[in-house]
Amino acid sequence: MSSAYVFSILATAAIFTLLALSLNIITGYAGQAMMGIAAFFGTGAYTAAIITTHGGNFFLALLAGMVVSGIFGAVLGVISLRLQADFLAITTIGINFVMAALFNSLKITGGTLGLTTSKPVVFGIRMTNMHFFIFTTILIVIVCLLITKMRHSWFGMALASIENDPGAARSFGINVSKYQILAFTIGTALAGLTGGLYAHRMGFISASDFAFVVSIQIVSMCVIGGLGTLRGPIFGAVLLSALPEVLRFADNYRELVYAVLLVIMVRFMPGGLLGDDSPVWKFLVKIWRKFVPRKKTRADLIAEQAIAEGGQA
Amino acid sequence: MFTQQLMNALAIGSVYALTAMGATLIYGILGILDIANAGAYLIGAYLGWYIYYATGSIVLAFVLSMVAVGVLGILIQKFIYSPILAKPNTLSIIPLVAAVGLFTMSSDLVRLICGPYSLSYNFDFGVTSIRIGSVVLVPAWILIFALTAVLLLILWFILNKTKLGLAWRATANDTEIAKVCGVNTSNAMALSYILGYGFAAAAGIMVGILYNSITPALGEVPSYKMLAIIVLGGLGNPLGTVLAGLIIGFTEVFLSAYTSIPIPKDAIAFVVLIIMLLVKPEGLLGQKNKV
Amino acid sequence: MEELMRVEGLKMYFGGLKAIDGFDLTINKGETLGIIGPNGAGKTTLFNAICGVYKPTDGKVFLEGKEVQGTPAHEMAKMGIARTFQISKPLRGLTIFDNVVAAAGVQEYTGIGSYFHKSHTKEVEDKAEAIIKETGLAEVANKKASDVSLGYLRRLEIARVLVTEPKLIMLDEPCAGLSNFAINEITELIFKLKEQKRSIVLIEHNLPLTMRVCDRITVLSYGKKICEGTPEYVKNDEQVIEAYLGKEDED
Query: Cβ separation of C92 and B89 shorter than 8 Å?
Result: yes
The burial of B90, by beta-carbon neighbours within 10 Å (0-12 exposed, 13-18 middle, 19 or more buried), is given as middle
Q: Above pLDDT 90, what percent of chain A?
A: 50
Q: Where in chain C is the domain with CATH 3.40.50.300?
A: 1-80+166-251
How far apart CA A195 and CA A66 sit, in angstroms, is 8
How far apart CA A36 and CA A269 sit, in angstroms, is 23
- Domain contains A132: yes
Is A60 a residue whose pLDDT tops 90? yes
Confidence of residue B285 (pLDDT cuts 50, 70, 90): low
Count structural domains, chain A: 1
Q: Which of A148, A149, A174, A227 to mutate to test the interface with C (most CBs of C within 10 A)?
A: A174
Minimal Cβ distance to C138: which of A156, A167, A303: A303
Considering only CB atoms, which chain B residues are within 8 Å of C53?
A: 291
**Residues 36 to 75 of B: which have CB under 8 A from any A CB?**
none
How far apart CA A191 and CA A198 sit, in angstroms, is 10
Considering only CB atoms, which chain B residues are within 8 Å of A226?
A: none
**Residues 42 to 81 of C: which have CB under 8 A from any B CB?**
48, 53-54
Is A84 a residue whose pLDDT tops 90? no
| Dihedral angle, C-alpha C126, C132, C136, C142, nearest 10 ° | -100
**Residue-level pLDDT at C249:** 47
**Residue-level pLDDT at C244:** 64
Looking at chain B, which residue has its C-alpha nearest residue A165? B89
Looking at chain A, which residue has its C-alpha nearest residue B99? A263
Transcribe C201-235 into DSSP letters: EEE-S-HHHHHHH-SEEEEEETTEEEEEE-HHHHH
Query: Cβ separation of A104 and B267 shorter than 8 Å?
Result: no
**Ramachandran area for residue C208 (φ above 0: left; ψ -120 to 50: alpha; else beta):** alpha
**Residue-level pLDDT at A26:** 93
**Cβ-contact A133, A11 below 8 angstroms:** yes
**Residue-level pLDDT at A27:** 92
Which chains, if any, share at least 3 CB pairs under 8 A with chain B?
A, C
- Domain contains A161: yes
**Residue-level pLDDT at C233:** 87
Each residue's pLDDT tens digit, A104-131: 888 888 888 889 888 888 888 888 889 9
Query: Cβ separation of A31 and B91 shorter than 8 Å?
Result: yes
Is A296 a residue whose pLDDT tops 80? yes
Looking at chain B, which residue has its C-alpha nearest residue C14? B290
Considering only CB atoms, which chain B residues are within 8 Å of A84?
A: 289
Cα-Cα-Cα-Cα dihedral sign, residues A181, B228, A86, B242: positive
**Residue-level pLDDT at B283:** 61
CATH 3.40.50.300 fits C1-80+166-251, yes or no: yes
Minimum distance, in Å, between the CA of residue A97 and any CA atom of chain B = 6
Q: What is the CATH number of the domain that holds A15?
A: 1.10.3470
Is B39 a residue whose pLDDT tops 50? yes
Minimum distance, in Å, between the CA of residue C194 and any CA atom of chain B = 32
Query: Cβ separation of C146 and B291 shorter than 8 Å?
Result: no
Lowest mean pLDDT among A181-185, A294-298, B77-81: A294-298
Q: How far apart are the first and last CA of chain C?
A: 34
Quick check: B91 contacting C, CB < 8 Å?
A: no
- Domain contains B144: yes
Quick check: C40 contacting B, CB < 8 Å?
A: no
Count structural domains, chain B: 1
Quick check: B289 contacting C, CB < 8 Å?
A: no
Query: How much is the mean pLDDT over chain A?
Result: 89
Query: Cβ separation of B94 and A220 shorter than 8 Å?
Result: no
Each residue's pLDDT tens digit, B118-171: 888 877 777 777 777 777 778 888 888 888 889 989 988 988 888 888 888 888
Provide ipTM, 2 decimals: 0.89
**Residue-level pLDDT at B132:** 75
**Residue-level pLDDT at C13:** 87
Tell me what the mean pLDDT of segment A264-268 comes to: 88
Is B284 a residue whose pLDDT tops 70? no
For chain C, residues with pLDDT lower than 70 are 244-251
**Is the full-model pTM beyond 0.90?**
no
Cα-Cα-Cα-Cα dihedral sign, residues A145, B97, A97, A240: positive
**Residue-level pLDDT at A192:** 97
Minimum distance, in Å, between the CA of residue A80 and any CA atom of chain B = 9
Higher model confidence: residue B89 or residue B46? Answer: B46
Quick check: A299 contacting C, CB < 8 Å?
A: yes
Minimal Cβ distance to C92: which of A164, A173, A303: A164
- Domain contains B160: yes
Quick check: C142 contacting A, CB < 8 Å?
A: yes
Is B257 a residue whose pLDDT tops 80? no
**Cβ-contact C161, C137 below 8 angstroms:** no
Minimum distance, in Å, between the CA of residue B5 and any CA atom of chain C = 41
Q: Which residues on neighbouring strands pair with residue C32, listed in sequence order? A: C200
Considering only CB atoms, which chain B residues are within 8 Å of C93?
A: 89
Domain, as residue range, for A36: 3-273
**Residue-level pLDDT at B288:** 42
Quick check: B96 contacting A, CB < 8 Å?
A: yes
Higher model confidence: residue A145 or residue B95? Answer: A145
Which helix (H) or strand (E) segment is A215 a member of?
A: helix A212-225
